[in-house]
Structure 1
Amino acid sequence: MPTERGDLFSGSAIDAARPMRVVIIGAGFSGIIAGIRFLQKVRNVQLTIYEALPGIGGTWFVNKYPGIACDIPAHCYQLTFHEKTDWSAFYATGPEIQSYMESVVDKYNLRPFIKLEHRLTSAIYSEATGKWDLTIQRNNSNGDVELFEDRADVLFTGMGGLSRWKWPDIPGLQSFGGKIVHSAKWETGEGDPASPWEDTVRSWKDKKVGVIGVGSSAIQIVPSLANRVGHLTNYVRGKTWISSPFLGERAEKLGMGKQESNYVFTDKDKEAFKDPAYYKEFRRELESDLNSIHVITLKGHPVQEGGRAAFKADMLQRLATRPDISEHLIPDFAVGCRRLTPGPGYLEALCRENVEFNPTEIKQVLPNGIETVDGKINELDVIVCATGFDTSYQLGFPIIGRGGVQLSDKYTPHPKLYLSVAVDGFPNWFQSLGPNSAVGSGSLLIVIERQVDYAVEATLKLQREHLKSMEIKSEAVEDWDAYIEHHFAKTIFSERCRSWYKLGKYEGRVVALWPGSCLHAVRALEHPRWEDYTYEPLDGHSNRFFWAGNGTTVAEETPGADKAWYLSEVDVPPG
């Protein structure tokens, strides 16, 4: 029955684009991709990217430690739409990755939208307006700290799980009288930009250095320092698998030789990569291989068992001169329970005469060194804490949703959210690289791209249908939470091993990883289930067809516009 109230319907064309204010937090890969896609796909958008750091790159800007590199092949760690053919090595260095990210920002002209040294200090959802009220902190040129407010129709956060570093909880740490550094807070000098850490260690050639940790950072730092310092002690609390370089067999087939270390691409290789057809096939095969190893994460799978035997044999061979290290380092848990890293040169560095492997628990740090629980004291000049990040997803500032609910409460005792992108009680907010976003195998960047695409599609729905808010249903969150629990029970991640995947605990909820393969995440995010959301209409309209507007399109209301645009978008079937 037709309504008698014409004011219930929009007076604009059905495809008129309502203005949308989008604020992105973070200028790492997530923020960069989001900036590109929102500007590309959302008409009439006003966009700002706030970045707390003084440069873009996220974790690749923060981390400048010796030997920093990506632990998957460089050609698998780039965007689908912005390929780089001249990577210097099979595993790209941190500075090279950051340079790549700078090139992406410049190509897509994002710099005018990025505000560096602007830190989000609070985000509060307004139920009255359907917008996010944001407080931003920035440093003025005179050194004063200024707070100002902003407002967003859509808030997108891409802050990552490995962006908030922390000191280890070791008694006496700050009493140390020598130099102490953290892997994520490395002091760089003014030397070669390709190796910004070298100025720091130039004077360490006769020093006694202790490196605490056996995660991916320590595994890269130890071989980088071993031949540059007088003596190095690596303090290792747990066990870990050190793999041979990932996809080494594929690299050998491509004529790159046996991958026992990080292969440096030759001029001949780079010239071959200039052929678009060859390069695309090379990348496709490499990435296809990377996306094929998810089965290694399943308990009892033959690939898991075979990989375990192969990795153990490889580690024993590489530690042949130091079998005592093998006993302490080779795990009894499954391959991949902790993050697996290839670590070129790490095991070989442990076998050097000037390197000591110390698996005894640290009792305390003294003014002149480190004492372990067996009473042994190693005098040191430098301590390097390669001890990682705060992976609790507790952000240190308030994000407050509908009804005053705090995000920190939603993430206690473990994060509960929907498909890694949305949280009930927090309308019009989407995220990338939040809880349960990382992958145990496969390409992380394609997952980030799809999380961004999801947020863009949601924003277009808000814009197109004149919605004040969209909010994921609590029952959808509960169902996804149950799915996560069921999935990880079948995987090696549920075994007893200390990992940041499980909040740094030996056992418990897996909070960092997607519950499935990388390709599974891509498909799950591909077609949003809008029925899992609840909606509020904009301006209090009550008719669900308010979005249909005044019965016309923008083309009809615009002189000279193409009024047969659909002929340029024909989907011609094969045949």
Structure 2
Amino acid sequence: MPGGGFSRSSESQAGASEASPYTLGDFCIDEYRPIRVVVVGAGFSGITAGVRFQQKIPNVSLAIYEKSAGVGGTWFNNKYPGLTCDIPSICYQLTFQEKRDWSAFYAPGSEIREYLEGIVEKYKLTKYIKLRHEVIHAQYDESAGKWHVRVRRTNTETGDSEEFEDVADVLLTAFGSLSRWKWPDIEGLETFKGELHHSAGFDPSDKTWQEVAEAWKDKTVGVIGVGSSALQLVPALQPRVKKLYNYVRGKTWLAVPFASNVFADLLQRDAQSAEDFRYTPEEMERFKNDEEFYKNYRYSLETQINSIHSSTLRGTPMQLMAQQIFRENMEKKLAKKPWILEKLLPDFPVACRRLTPGPGYLEALVEDNVDFISSPIKRVMEKGIETEDGEQQEIDVLFCATGYDTTFQLPFKIIGRNGIEISEKWKPHPVSYLSVAVDGFPNLFMSLGPNSAVGSGSLLALMEYQVMYAVQATEKLQRERLKSIEVKPEAVRDFDQYIDAYFPKSVYSEKCRSWYKGGREEGRVVGLWPGSTLHALKALSHPRWEDYNYELADPVQNRLYWLGDGQTYAEKTLTGDRAWYLREPYLDIPPVPTD
């Protein structure tokens, strides 16, 4: 909308109000109206939203709906054998919540889940989080400026499924792009009579996966896939089963451990031992008691993983060096079965598809009880698998590590202005503004939506900034008494153009099958931020409010009606802090120049 971004109805009536007396609002400038926020998902993003919304938004009413039985998102739902963090776990934590007792360089998934549960307990988020509550529909009411959110739950007394409606001023989607797993499209899969699992659906119930795997020691196990889950499954299962077949359709780079040089320098260890390295009790004790050492270790690791963006650009020295180092590492570890290297080594650049170090994977492939099968699967039979080369393998336990639906076609309808459904708007590909907002969907913000993952750097830092972006927008909505805040279509268009211009210079647009491209070999990159992680943080730090249109919440058509009655609540009631500008964080003392 041309001009200042307020609705035309507000502007057209403003002229009439100039001739009539203006009445001040009967509220203080900081006497904030109640505001309702609904968050979908209780993984990292949803939990962070719970912390930040209650911290930053006065008079807030908050609900976080999670369809699963526990918090943690992917870290609650994934429990497959060998699940670990695939970047240094000390870099996989929130900026405001340190954990100093990680057991390993790559911590197991159970520790990450416990870390998130600890945050929920510390910040008293249980009162906001509604488990086993699945959001099934959301629709924006234009006249009221509200989101009507339909939620399905199970009645604890009757066991029946029931639905209810929540009404929110702000809706935040926080379910991520890797949350909806799917079975592979393989002929005969449903006829398999053995034990069948999807990696993302494996549930050991009240046991550990190690306890469940005890029953497989005399079994033959198949693992389909060569993505990040398969790279963890294979080395975890190999020493615990009689025979293991790994069915690999594509190719992939195996990285050396990320930031292992920092680990080696600061802990005085062999960098190669980072692949299976567990921190010693002495090191963990030092992390707990030596704050300066811990902070330096964490800062150095974060600096390192935020220093490799150049490797994601075509033809750079860092990209070429990575190819050489990774190839030499793969050659060395596959020396016992060199033919596997011919089948596994890609002809596309490093990082074209998601890159992982896969600790122990290559070592497992060369063990005598493992067969690497590159012939495509023809069909699954009752007792095993037949490949296109005519070979058949009998299998007792089959794991499909075949990934997620990454098309951004959502599992429930989100309907914005004029009845527009977001999944329809996102055809043939999703569009957004800086990955956090979509035109036609007022008061809706996203964390880890389209174009918001990272190929290098700290994903959790970006996620935190996305959540804080939504918090800042909610602050503006509440502070200025707005009915709606909606990104302009031209701003979405401009970000779309930026995406199209950026990715051709990156390795992500090369030909390789990747969830970054929605599971396709070629086409638009829909999963990644168009730039580095640090680039994203800078972009999201200071919102460009001029890229939004606004509607006023009050019937008084004066954009400064939110100034209220000319005083603050502390003055009106003679309570609270009436010299807050002399305290942190408002007090800002500039440094004195040294020369």
CA shift, 1:7, in A, is 6.0
Alpha-carbon distance between aligned partners in 2 of 1:124 and 1:463, rounded to the nearest angstrom: 21
Alpha-carbon distance between aligned partners in 1 of 2:255 and 2:295, rounded to the nearest angstrom: 27
Alpha-carbon distance between aligned partners in 2 of 1:560 and 1:288, rounded to the nearest angstrom: 45
Instruction: Give the equivalent residue in structure 1 for 2:443.
Output: 428
CA shift, 1:273, in A, is 1.1
Asked if 1:573 corresponds to 2:586, the answer is no
For residues 157-209 of structure 1, the C-alpha deviation after alignment (integer angstroms, 9 at most, x for no partner) is: 10101110100000100001111101011130433xxxx21232211111111
Instruction: Give the equivalent residue in structure 2 for 1:302.
Output: 317
CA shift, 1:400, in A, is 0.1
1:478 to 1:560, Cα distance in 2 relative to 1, 3 A:
closer
Report SS of the residue matched to 1:360.
coil
Alpha-carbon distance between aligned partners in 2 of 1:525 and 1:8, rounded to the nearest angstrom: 37
Q: Is 1:186–1:197's contact at 8 Å kept on the other side of the alignment? A: no
Instruction: Give the equivalent residue in structure 1 for 2:364.
Output: 349
For residues 531-571 of structure 1, the C-alpha deviation after alignment (integer angstroms, 9 at most, x for no partner) is: 00000111333211111111222122113443333233332
Q: Indicate which of 252, 276, 284 corresponds to 1:270.
A: 284
Alpha-carbon distance between aligned partners in 1 of 2:272 and 2:159, rounded to the nearest angstrom: 50
Asked if 1:553 corresponds to 2:568, the answer is yes
459-468 vs 261-270, which moves further: 261-270
240-249 vs 525-534, which moves further: 240-249
1:104 to 1:127, Cα distance in 2 relative to 1, 3 A:
same
Alpha-carbon distance between aligned partners in 2 of 1:427 and 1:538, rounded to the nearest angstrom: 13
Instruction: Give the equivalent residue in structure 2 for 1:12.
Output: 27
What TM-score, normalized to structure 1? 0.98
Instruction: Give the equivalent residue in structure 2 for 1:114.
Output: 129
CA shift, 1:488, in A, is 0.4
Alpha-carbon distance between aligned partners in 2 of 1:267 and 1:368, rounded to the nearest angstrom: 46
CA shift, 1:259, in A, is 2.5
Alpha-carbon distance between aligned partners in 2 of 1:381 and 1:64, rounded to the nearest angstrom: 20
Instruction: Give the equivalent residue in structure 2 for 1:258.
Output: 271
Report SS of the residue matched to 1:430.
strand
What TM-score, normalized to structure 2? 0.94
Asked if 1:320 corresponds to 2:332, the answer is no
Taking the TM superposition and a 5 Å limit, the aligned residue runs for 1:463-482 are 463-482=478-497
Report SS of the residue matched to 1:450.
helix
Asked if 1:452 corresponds to 2:467, the answer is yes
Instruction: Give the equivalent residue in structure 1 for 2:210.
Output: 198
1:572 corresponds to which letter in structure 2? I
Instruction: Give the equivalent residue in structure 2 for 1:181.
Output: 197
1:163 corresponds to which letter in structure 2? S
2:64 corresponds to which letter in structure 1? I
Alignment root-mean-square deviation, CA: 1.2
Asked if 1:86 corresponds to 2:101, the answer is yes
For residues 463-486 of structure 1, the C-alpha deviation after alignment (integer angstroms, 9 at most, x for no partner) is: 011100010011100100110111
Alpha-carbon distance between aligned partners in 2 of 1:270 and 1:309, rounded to the nearest angstrom: 34
Q: Indicate which of 163, 175, 178 corresponds to 1:162.
A: 178
2:162 corresponds to which letter in structure 1? E
CA shift, 1:409, in A, is 1.2
1:571 corresponds to which letter in structure 2? D
Instruction: Give the equivalent residue in structure 2 for 1:403.
Output: 418
Alpha-carbon distance between aligned partners in 1 of 2:447 and 2:140, rounded to the nearest angstrom: 19
Taking the TM superposition and a 5 Å limit, the aligned residue runs for 1:172-251 are 172-191=188-207, 196-251=208-263
Instruction: Give the equivalent residue in structure 2 for 1:439.
Output: 454
Alpha-carbon distance between aligned partners in 2 of 1:13 and 1:476, rounded to the nearest angstrom: 34
Asked if 1:140 corresponds to 2:155, the answer is yes
3-12 vs 81-90, which moves further: 3-12
For residues 414-449 of structure 1, the C-alpha deviation after alignment (integer angstroms, 9 at most, x for no partner) is: 100000000000000001000111000001110011
Alpha-carbon distance between aligned partners in 1 of 2:19 and 2:469, rounded to the nearest angstrom: 38
Alpha-carbon distance between aligned partners in 2 of 1:561 and 1:313, rounded to the nearest angstrom: 65
1:445 to 1:6, Cα distance in 2 relative to 1, 3 A:
farther
Report SS of the residue matched to 2:297.
helix
Q: Is 1:8–1:543's contact at 8 Å kept on the other side of the alignment? A: no
Report SS of the residue matched to 2:127.
helix
CA shift, 1:270, in A, is 1.1
1:258 corresponds to which letter in structure 2? A
Report SS of the residue matched to 2:30.
coil
Alpha-carbon distance between aligned partners in 2 of 1:83 and 1:562, rounded to the nearest angstrom: 30
Q: Indicate which of 303, 311, 315 corresponds to 1:288.
A: 303
Report SS of the residue matched to 1:325.
helix
Report SS of the residue matched to 2:371.
strand
Q: Is 1:190–1:199's contact at 8 Å kept on the other side of the alignment? A: no
Report SS of the residue matched to 1:17.
coil
Report SS of the residue matched to 1:334.
coil
Alpha-carbon distance between aligned partners in 2 of 1:9 and 1:558, rounded to the nearest angstrom: 19
Alpha-carbon distance between aligned partners in 2 of 1:513 and 1:488, rounded to the nearest angstrom: 9
CA shift, 1:3, in A, is 4.0
Q: Is 1:189–1:200's contact at 8 Å kept on the other side of the alignment? A: no
Alpha-carbon distance between aligned partners in 2 of 1:75 and 1:490, rounded to the nearest angstrom: 31
Alpha-carbon distance between aligned partners in 1 of 2:159 and 2:456, rounded to the nearest angstrom: 44
For residues 20-62 of structure 1, the C-alpha deviation after alignment (integer angstroms, 9 at most, x for no partner) is: 0011110000000001000000000011111000000000001
Alpha-carbon distance between aligned partners in 2 of 1:221 and 1:560, rounded to the nearest angstrom: 59
Which runs of 5 or more residues in structure 2 are unaligned?
Answer: 1-14
Alpha-carbon distance between aligned partners in 2 of 1:380 and 1:168, rounded to the nearest angstrom: 17
Report SS of the residue matched to 2:149.
strand
Q: Is 1:51–1:115's contact at 8 Å kept on the other side of the alignment? A: yes
Q: Is 1:398–1:406's contact at 8 Å kept on the other side of the alignment? A: yes
Asked if 1:489 corresponds to 2:504, the answer is yes
4+ long deviations beyond 6 Å: none
1:136 corresponds to which letter in structure 2? V
Alpha-carbon distance between aligned partners in 2 of 1:6 and 1:437, rounded to the nearest angstrom: 49
Q: Is 1:23–1:47's contact at 8 Å kept on the other side of the alignment? A: yes
Q: Is 1:349–1:355's contact at 8 Å kept on the other side of the alignment? A: yes
Alpha-carbon distance between aligned partners in 1 of 2:269 and 2:227, rounded to the nearest angstrom: 28
1:439 corresponds to which letter in structure 2? V
Alpha-carbon distance between aligned partners in 2 of 1:318 and 1:6, rounded to the nearest angstrom: 82
Alpha-carbon distance between aligned partners in 2 of 1:222 and 1:471, rounded to the nearest angstrom: 47
CA shift, 1:245, in A, is 1.1
Q: Indicate which of 53, 61, 64 corresponds to 1:46.
A: 61
For residues 77-117 of structure 1, the C-alpha deviation after alignment (integer angstroms, 9 at most, x for no partner) is: 00111101110000011000000001111111111111000
102-111 vs 551-560, which moves further: 551-560
Asked if 1:55 corresponds to 2:73, the answer is no
1:165 corresponds to which letter in structure 2? W
Which runs of 5 or more residues in structure 1 are unaligned?
Answer: none
Alpha-carbon distance between aligned partners in 2 of 1:169 and 1:117, rounded to the nearest angstrom: 29
Q: Is 1:447–1:522's contact at 8 Å kept on the other side of the alignment? A: yes
For residues 214-258 of structure 1, the C-alpha deviation after alignment (integer angstroms, 9 at most, x for no partner) is: 000000000100111111000000000011111111111121323
Report SS of the residue matched to 1:336.
coil
1:8 to 1:160, Cα distance in 2 relative to 1, 3 A:
farther
Q: Is 1:9–1:545's contact at 8 Å kept on the other side of the alignment? A: no
Taking the TM superposition and a 5 Å limit, the aligned residue runs for 1:384-403 are 384-403=399-418
